[in-house]
Amino acid sequence: MDSLRQQNFETRAVQIGVGRDEKTGAVSFPIHPSATFRHPGVGESTGFDYTRSGNPTRQILEEALADLENGARGLAFSSGMAALTTLFLHFSAGDHLIVSEDLYGGTYRVLDQIFGKFGLGVTYADTTDTTAVAAAVTDRTRALLVETPGNPLLGVADLEALGAICRKRNLLFIVDNTFLTPALQRPLEWGADIVVHSATKYLGGHNDLCAGALVTRTPELGERLYFLQNSTGAVLPPQECWLLMRSLKTLHLRLERHCTNALKVARWLRKHPAVNSVYYPGLEDHPGHELSKKQTFGFGGMISFRVRDAETARRVLKRLELISFAESLGGVESLMTLPSVQTHADIPEAERKRLGICDSLLRLSVGIENSEDVIADLEQALSTGD
């Protein structure tokens, strides 16, 4: 792996698993479905004993995840929520976390309705405001969890500045990198300790896989999270590990196209009379535009936009033809959601309203189709005629 470290991101992505099956020379690393492995003798191991603890296919994937994020250790889970849940088990009753208020509703739900019962305290903060984050730190704060860009409002948090606060206050700095992936943003290089992924999204990229990942900056933290992964067992099965490896090989190409398409769509949406506002960090007047240019290699494929009212939003969703009205994001196929009733339904209504996640806000995951076809579908869906 050391020599591969010298190569560029795209090359390392494409070469995942190549040359790793020395026995057969397979270019596509094989799937090892075996649940258990024969021991050569008592107290001896091939390096694999039992698939929850370690599996050859998962090992190649986990090494690749670490390599692409420039981390020390990667761990693959059965979903993004499994990765986050395992990570939250690192904390103890009485510990306190600061978490982005503009975040995936499922993360809010697991913290509020499950970890809250076990005494884990959470303050939700506007993590695009570094001063607000610093002010939220208490003696009990152990970590900061940031989604950037935020979900669904796409605010951009300053990774370098937040990393400095975490170092000063001795907090674990955790970044959910689902929206941009290491092809566009590498939080560990800006001071993060742990990166989280819903690999169901861009890493998987084809809406055919549910997976999650954690990547750590240090081997020690990796070992601690491996202990939790092995103890609680939400590992990614070997078949899915193989599928995710195959997806990662085209990550950079897909993201390039997601970015160019999203910029075209965002610019088009902004001019449409039925659209009140567009949230996309690639637009020059987005408040996080300059920061994005500094800390990312592209603005991503996610756009949110507001239409006149809830009724218009519902009509648009009903009229879509090419774009699927469906939850999730990050696949090659364009998807649109209504966050207030789908991805963010578990956030209390008053809080959603305060944040601006209302029934007229639509979230679009721009796929890699021809952008003209995506725009044509939006045009007919937004039109007022029959």
Residues with a known catalytic role = 52, 104, 176, 201
Per CB under 6 A, 101 contacts ligand PLP? no
314-353 positions binding ligand PLP, by CB under 6 A: 343
Nearest to 368 by CA among 247, 268, 279, 260: 260
CB of 151 or CB of 296, closer to ligand PLP: 151
Among 147, 193, 240, 359, binds ligand PLP (CB under 6 A): 147
Per CB under 6 A, 102 contacts ligand PLP? no
Among 17, 56, 71, 80, binds ligand PLP (CB under 6 A): 80
Q: How far is the CB of 106 from ligand PLP (least distance, A)?
A: 5
CB of 262 or CB of 275, closer to ligand PLP: 262
Strand-pair category, 335-337 with 324-325: parallel
Among 89, 210, 234, 317, binds ligand PLP (CB under 6 A): 210
Among 91, 104, 280, 305, binds ligand PLP (CB under 6 A): 104
Question: How far is residue 68's CA from residue 182's CA, in Å, rounded to a whole number?
Answer: 6
Residue with tokens 């270019």: 27
Q: How far is the CB of 259 from ligand PLP (least distance, A)?
A: 18
Question: How far is residue 15's CA from residue 76's CA, in Å, rounded to a whole number?
Answer: 19
Per CB under 6 A, 86 contacts ligand PLP? no
Token readout for 231 is 């103890």
Question: How far is residue 57's CA from residue 65's CA, in Å, rounded to a whole number?
Answer: 13
Among 85, 127, 151, 337, binds ligand PLP (CB under 6 A): 151
CB of 190 within 8 A of CB of 157?
Answer: no
Question: How far is residue 17's CA from residue 188's CA, in Å, rounded to a whole number?
Answer: 23
CB of 302 within 8 A of CB of 179?
Answer: yes
Nearest to 33 by CA among 327, 289, 330, 237: 237
Per CB under 6 A, 88 contacts ligand PLP? no
Per CB under 6 A, 288 contacts ligand PLP? no
Among 95, 158, 176, 240, binds ligand PLP (CB under 6 A): 176
Per CB under 6 A, 237 contacts ligand PLP? no
CB of 212 or CB of 238, closer to ligand PLP: 212
The angle, 0 to 180 degrees and rounded to 10, between the axes of the packed helices 371-382 and 310-319 is 130
Per CB under 6 A, 74 contacts ligand PLP? no
Q: Which residues of 150-165 are buried (b: 16+ CB within 10 A; e: fewer)?
A: bbbbbbbbbbebbbbb
Residue type, 207: N
Q: How far is the CB of 201 from ligand PLP (least distance, A)?
A: 6
Look at residue 302 and give its three-state secondary structure: strand
Token readout for 179 is 């929206």
Q: How far is the CB of 26 from ligand PLP (least distance, A)?
A: 29
CB of 130 within 8 A of CB of 144?
Answer: no
CB of 222 or CB of 330, closer to ligand PLP: 330
Per CB under 6 A, 365 contacts ligand PLP? no
CB of 82 or CB of 323, closer to ligand PLP: 82
* Contact footprint for ligand PLP (CB under 6 A): 79-81, 104, 106-107, 147, 151, 176, 178, 198, 200, 210, 212, 343
